[in-house]
């Protein structure tokens, strides 16, 4: 394998579960909008696309047909080799069967694995109980989909370590540090250093990526690149390009991440290189 230590993977999360057209008219909601945005983000430098879909009302949902259409449209672009990463959350208070079906039937190369339950945004519970996590890991192994282990606080890293020891999560694992979500760890460089140190203790040899929500976004972007991690950007996490200014599209975030990586004298990983880094077949 070529030396890829200077490469940084950009993941784009175009849609997420929360921003609506009322929040910003620029967030892609319909399958054709998401697919077009993913394609353009791939052209701008994104190697991984984290996919959420919405119901007909524009709200968070895990409707299989929406995922199927979105994935079909992305895969129909024959020149596009972006890595697909399908969510298994899609929101809160959703049926487990609906959360499991899209990745299990559509077989992307990756899918999210939210490694613990948390009080979400001080308003409700984002539930990922132990039985669900064991079932989720088993089903991912069954169809050879690599978990993107999303962790919102250090305890979730230890949860992942437990499932690694049980053999349910395979190594080397890939972690996504989700920072700045109300109810989770704050988006600061100090916290990022702590999260990285915890990961090195619990699951050495893992790859990792990070993003910050809201005002911590740029700090986490810069710090992650400097610390050797990969980055995630997009309207799932931030709809403002900068204070007081809505982003026109997700490509703006990808292009900025690319510039930051290159200014730090690193290189943006292609999808083929990202597959090597992440150990994808």
> Secondary structure of 134-185 in the HEC alphabet?
HHHHHHHHHCCCEEEEEECCHHHHHHHHHHHHCCCCCCCCEEEEEECCCCCC
Token couple for 175: 């972690």
Give the start-to-end residue ranges of the domains of the chain. Answer: 7-278
Q: What is the pLDDT of residue 90?
A: 87
| Angle 134-103-272 from CA coordinates, rounded to 5° | 110
Distance CA 146, CA 111 (A): 6
Q: What is the pLDDT of residue 141?
A: 98
Closest CA to 174 of 245, 94, 100, 85: 85
Token couple for 11: 């993941």
DSSP state of 230: E
pLDDT tens for the 281 residues of the chain, in order: 578 999 999 999 999 999 999 999 999 999 999 999 999 999 999 999 999 999 999 999 999 999 999 999 999 999 999 999 999 998 888 899 999 999 999 999 999 999 999 999 999 999 999 999 999 999 999 999 999 999 999 999 999 999 999 999 999 999 999 999 999 999 999 999 999 999 999 999 999 999 999 999 999 999 999 999 999 999 999 999 999 999 999 999 999 999 999 999 999 999 999 999 999 97
Q: What is the pLDDT of residue 275?
A: 98
Distance CA 186, CA 180 (A): 4
For domain 7-278, the CATH superfamily is: Aldolase class I (3.20.20.70)
Q: Quote the pTM value.
A: 0.97
Q: What is the pLDDT of residue 3?
A: 87
Q: What is the pLDDT of residue 48?
A: 99
Q: What is the pLDDT of residue 173?
A: 98
Distance CA 3, CA 124 (A): 44
Under 8 Å between Cβ of 260 and 47: no
DSSP state of 9: P
Specify the 3-state DSSP secondary structure of 57: coil
| Cα torsion angle, 137, 234, 254, 86, sign | positive
């Amino acid at each position: 394998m070529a030396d890829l230590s200077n490469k940084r993977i950009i993941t784009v999360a175009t849609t997420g579960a929360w921003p609506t057209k009322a929040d910003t008219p620029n967030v892609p909601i319909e399958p054709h909008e998401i697919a077009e945005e993913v394609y353009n983000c791939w052209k701008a430098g994104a190697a991984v696309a984290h996919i959420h879909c919405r119901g007909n009302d524009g709200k968070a949902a895990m409707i299989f047909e929406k995922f199927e259409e979105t994935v079909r449209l992305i895969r129909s672009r024959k020149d596009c080799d972006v890595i697909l990463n399908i969510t298994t959350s899609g929101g809160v208070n959703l049926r487990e069967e609906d959360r499991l079906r899209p990745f299990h039937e559509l077989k992307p190369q990756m899918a999210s694995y939210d490694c613990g339950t948390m009080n979400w945004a001080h308003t409700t519970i984002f539930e990922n109980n132990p039985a669900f996590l064991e079932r989720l890991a088993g089903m991912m192994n069954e169809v050879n989909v690599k978990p993107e282990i999303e962790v919102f606080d250090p305890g979730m890293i230890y949860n992942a370590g437990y499932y690694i020891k049980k053999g349910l999560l395979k190594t080397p694992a890939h972690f996504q540090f989700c920072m700045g979500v109300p109810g989770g760890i704050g988006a600061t460089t100090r916290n990022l250093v702590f999260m990285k140190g915890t990961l090195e203790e619990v699951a050495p040899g893992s790859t990792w990526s990070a993003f910050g929500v809201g005002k911590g976004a740029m700090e986490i972007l810069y710090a992650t690149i400097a610390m050797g991690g990969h980055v995630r950007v997009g309207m799932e996490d931030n709809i403002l390009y900068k204070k007081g200014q809505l982003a026109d599209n997700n490509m703006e975030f990808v292009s900025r991440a690319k510039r930051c990586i290159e200014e730090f004298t690193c290189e943006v990983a292609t999808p083929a290189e990202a597959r090597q880094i992440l150990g994808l077949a």
